[in-house]
Amino acid sequence: MIKLLALDMDGTLLDSHKKIPQAHIEAIHQAIAQGVKLVLCTGRPLVGVKPYYKELGLSKQNEYVIVDNGCAIHQSEGWKLLDYTALSKEDLVYLDQIAQKTPAQLTIFDEERYLVLGEDPNDLVSYDAGLVFTQPVKISLEEAIEGSEIMFQAMFLAQPDQLDRFEADFHQDLSQRFSAVRSQDYIYETMPKGTTKASALARLAEKLAIKPEEIMAIGDANNDLEMLEFAGLGIAMGNASDYVKSQADAVTTSNDQAGVARAIEKYILKQDA
């Protein structure tokens, strides 16, 4: 029996226009009404989740969100930070050294801000910050390592061809020190070693006394792979890559074809039918 629904956002909950289909909203409410816990699991920072959470109409329920690709777990009631992993000062210095060798811009999420390390944000970074309802803020390395803010995940952003070269040059080294993944064609993400959506989901599930086999996870991208594997039922979206689909237990329709609603109807709502 499914007791927890772990749900990616971009490419999954959201359609290709970054909107939540009404069918998804209705199916999620039906699942929650049957006692299923909802956990949004996203690479977005918290600021990029709150407006969508409000749109879901779940203000009276105390659900959970995993943000920054597993770096932080919040409960929706008051958005309290329950658990987190953070980049160290040494990590930030190392990432800055990499950034000096590449045209990719280095960005970092703290609890409230979308930060750009050492440079004025370019158009691509400003565009990406806009997708999460904020504006990038320039910060020096000294400010980053000497401040009191928690520094969660870091991202390198560049045009796809530039990021191809970045990945070829630096992935081997970065993956040894960090949990590193290219989540989109223009974003390469680095989290503290061992930190993924799955690692955060495992900690939360233990807190909620929910077993992995009682979890259904839905996602579409490379940064969802560990989560799909961890869950008892891992479902790939129809718009996922062939590789992501091959690693899932099942495949639903695309994010423009109400794939989340279809999966909830098939695997959650039917269990009490």
Residue pair 223/67 in contact by the 8 Å Cβ criterion: no
Spatial CA neighbour of 70 closest among 205, 199, 217, 224: 199
**Degrees to nearest 5, angle at CA 47 with 241 and 167:** 40
Spatial CA neighbour of 63 closest among 79, 47, 76: 76
Spatial CA neighbour of 42 closest among 4, 81, 75, 72: 72
Residue 161 bears catalytic tag:
no
CA 203 to chain CA centroid, Å, is 16
Residue pair 52/9 in contact by the 8 Å Cβ criterion: yes
Q: Give the side-chain half-sphere CA count within 13 A for 169.
A: 12
**Residue 36 has what DSSP assignment?**
P
Quote the radius of gyration of the chain (alpha carbons, Å).
18
Which two tokens mark 57?
Answer: 């109409």
β-pairing, 154-157 vs 187-192, is: antiparallel
Residue pair 136/157 in contact by the 8 Å Cβ criterion: no
Q: How far apart are CA 97 and CA 105, in angstroms?
A: 12
Residue pair 59/38 in contact by the 8 Å Cβ criterion: no
Rounded to a whole number, what is the distance in angstroms from the first to the last CA of the chain? 12
What residues are labeled active site? 8
